[in-house]
């Protein structure tokens, strides 16, 4: 659903929710779309697929409840373990004081191990398993899990973007781009914009929406200075502040990395810092320790030494940023 425009996504949502005769598997990062369309969720995590009934919001609620329950079980088990350890240590100390008999010391050790081994034998609902000897258990019971497996969450990736250093003379809210009666197109008879007047201010966060083919990408390329004057026909006034530094991640940025698939992440980053338009202070900081800089985007450590061709789609997008 990533490259579908808003109108197309709305139509697709209505079409899929009205069609109950087909079984579909959808891969999407659009939460609203998943909530509207999906009746079930298959969660891929730690080399396993787990099936959940309900839409994405229901899946998240179930995951949150499961994580909270497991955390409570783990906390309770830890408290009981500490209490049991304190008890057996006390018994061991008393046994040592009363007698140096090796048999009694061995007995105290067996009691300690048995008591500690019982800690943590809980089901996912928080109830304890009834511990029995193997001789008393039927074969069907031997297949039961003995302990709750506490899933370790994937590490949260915290991306750190350098704070923009605005050039002197550009105050907050001041225009950094301005169009006045501006028309733009590849030929005089095929205009993308006709006589538009607008401006962008410092600090604005603007969403550009429209149907596929309306010219969104072309306009972004113009703003990002990816389009050359010889490539289009324009009239009116278009002004971009000369001190503004532009960062541009296009919908094709990930695909373009295929051209450098054999380069490692660190090699690619070093090359971009040397030949890109990053400010001198960022280049100085990053070039000295590229891998540390990549770590701010979740691409440090062993990821920095991997060929780009081995990265997942999400990792490639982080590299583009």
Is the pLDDT at 141 greater than 50? The verdict is: no
- For 160-177, how does the pLDDT look when each residue is reduced to its tens digit (9 = 90+)? 666 766 766 677 778 888
Give the pLDDT band of residue 257 (cuts 50, 70, 90): confident
Gap between the Cα atoms of 92 and 112, Å rounded: 9
* pLDDT score recorded for residue 90: 73
Residue whose pair of structure tokens reads 């996504």 in the numeric block? 9
β-strand pairing of 190-201 with 233-240: unpaired
DSSP 174: -
Domain span holding position 235? 175-240
Give the pLDDT band of residue 284 (cuts 50, 70, 90): low
Is the pLDDT at 132 greater than 50? The verdict is: no
Gap between the Cα atoms of 282 and 276, Å rounded: 11
Task: Please report whether residue 42 resides in a domain.
Answer: no
Last residue of one domain, picked from the residues 143, 165, 184:
143
* pLDDT score recorded for residue 17: 86
β-strand pairing of 48-53 with 190-201: unpaired
Q: Is residue 9 helix, strand or coil? A: helix
Task: Please report whether residue 87 resides in a domain.
Answer: yes
If asked whether residues 185 and 209 sit together in one domain, one would say: yes
If asked whether residues 181 and 235 sit together in one domain, one would say: yes
Task: Please report whether residue 193 resides in a domain.
Answer: yes
Is the pLDDT at 137 greater than 60? The verdict is: no
If asked whether residues 191 and 230 sit together in one domain, one would say: yes
* pLDDT score recorded for residue 114: 61
Is the pLDDT at 277 greater than 60? The verdict is: no
Task: Please report whether residue 208 resides in a domain.
Answer: yes
Task: Please report whether residue 3 resides in a domain.
Answer: no
Within a 10 A sphere around the Cβ of 78, how many other Cβ atoms?
Answer: 12
If asked whether residues 231 and 263 sit together in one domain, one would say: no
Q: Is residue 10 helix, strand or coil? A: helix
Last residue of one domain, picked from the residues 208, 240, 272:
240
* pLDDT score recorded for residue 104: 62
Burial bucket for residue 60 (CB in 10 Å: 0-12, 13-18, 19+)? middle
Indicate whether this model's pTM tops 0.85.
no
Last residue of one domain, picked from the residues 119, 143, 167:
143
Task: Please report whether residue 163 resides in a domain.
Answer: no
- For 61-109, how does the pLDDT look when each residue is reduced to its tens digit (9 = 90+)? 888 888 777 777 777 777 777 777 777 677 667 666 655 566 666 666 6
Contact between residue 60 and residue 70 where contact means Cβ atoms under 8 Å apart: no
If asked whether residues 222 and 293 sit together in one domain, one would say: no
Q: Which two tokens stand for residue 2?
A: 């990533």
* pLDDT score recorded for residue 118: 55
Sheet holding 190-201, edge to edge: 190-201, 175-187, 233-240
- DSSP H helical segments within the chain, as ranges? 6-18, 31-37, 56-98, 102-117, 216-223, 253-256, 265-275, 280-288, 290-295, 313-320
Is the pLDDT at 261 greater than 70? The verdict is: yes
Contact between residue 203 and residue 176 where contact means Cβ atoms under 8 Å apart: no
Task: Please report whether residue 148 resides in a domain.
Answer: no
Task: Please report whether residue 45 resides in a domain.
Answer: no
Is the pLDDT at 5 greater than 50? The verdict is: yes
Written in H, E and C, the secondary structure of 249-293 is CCCCHHHHHHHHCCCEHHHHHHHHHHHCCCCHHHHHHHHHCHHHH
The per-residue pLDDT of the chain, averaged, comes to: 74
Q: Quick one: which of 253, 295, 318 has its CA closest to 286? A: 295
* pLDDT score recorded for residue 134: 40
Give the pLDDT band of residue 276 (cuts 50, 70, 90): low
Burial bucket for residue 201 (CB in 10 Å: 0-12, 13-18, 19+)? middle
Is the pLDDT at 10 greater than 80? The verdict is: yes
Within a 10 A sphere around the Cβ of 122, how many other Cβ atoms?
Answer: 19
State how many domains the chain has: 3
* pLDDT score recorded for residue 249: 78
* pLDDT score recorded for residue 234: 82
Residue whose pair of structure tokens reads 């509207």 in the numeric block? 36
- Give mean pLDDT, residues 260-273: 84
Q: Is residue 32 helix, strand or coil? A: helix
Is the pLDDT at 209 greater than 70? The verdict is: yes
Is the pLDDT at 241 greater than 50? The verdict is: yes
């Amino acid at each position: 659903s990533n490259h579908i425009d808003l109108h197309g996504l709305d139509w697709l949502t209505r079409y899929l929710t009205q069609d109950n005769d087909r079984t579909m598997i959808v891969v999407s990062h659009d939460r609203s779309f998943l909530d509207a369309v999906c009746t079930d969720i298959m969660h891929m995590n730690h080399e396993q697929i787990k099936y959940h009934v309900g839409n994405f919001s229901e899946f998240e609620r179930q995951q949150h409840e499961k994580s909270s329950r497991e955390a409570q079980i783990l906390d309770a088990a830890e408290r009981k373990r500490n209490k049991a350890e304190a008890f057996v240590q006390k018994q061991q100390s008393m046994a040592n004081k009363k007698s140096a008999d090796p048999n009694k010391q061995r007995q105290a050790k067996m009691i300690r191990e048995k008591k500690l081994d019982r800690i943590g034998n809980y089901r996912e609902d928080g109830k304890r398993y009834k511990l029995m000897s193997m001789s008393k258990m039927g074969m069907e019971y031997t297949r039961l899990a003995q302990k709750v497996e506490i899933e370790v969450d994937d590490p949260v990736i915290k991306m750190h973007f350098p704070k923009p250093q605005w050039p002197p003379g550009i105050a907050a809210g001041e225009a950094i781009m301005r169009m006045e009666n501006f028309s733009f197109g590849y030929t005089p008879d095929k205009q993308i914009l006709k006589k538009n007047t607008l401006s962008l201010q410092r600090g604005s966060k603007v969403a550009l929406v429209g149907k596929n083919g309306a010219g969104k990408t072309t306009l972004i390329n113009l703003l990002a200075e990816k389009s050359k004057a010889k490539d289009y026909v324009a009239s009116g006034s278009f002004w971009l502040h000369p001190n503004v530094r532009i960062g541009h991640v296009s919908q094709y940025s990930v695909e373009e990395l295929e051209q450098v698939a054999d380069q490692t992440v660190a090699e690619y980053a070093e090359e971009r810092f040397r030949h890109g338009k990053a400010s001198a202070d960022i280049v100085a900081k990053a070039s000295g320790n590229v891998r540390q800089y990549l770590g701010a985007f979740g691409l440090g450590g062993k990821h920095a030494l991997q060929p780009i061709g081995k990265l997942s789609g999400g990792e490639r997008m982080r590299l583009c940023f």
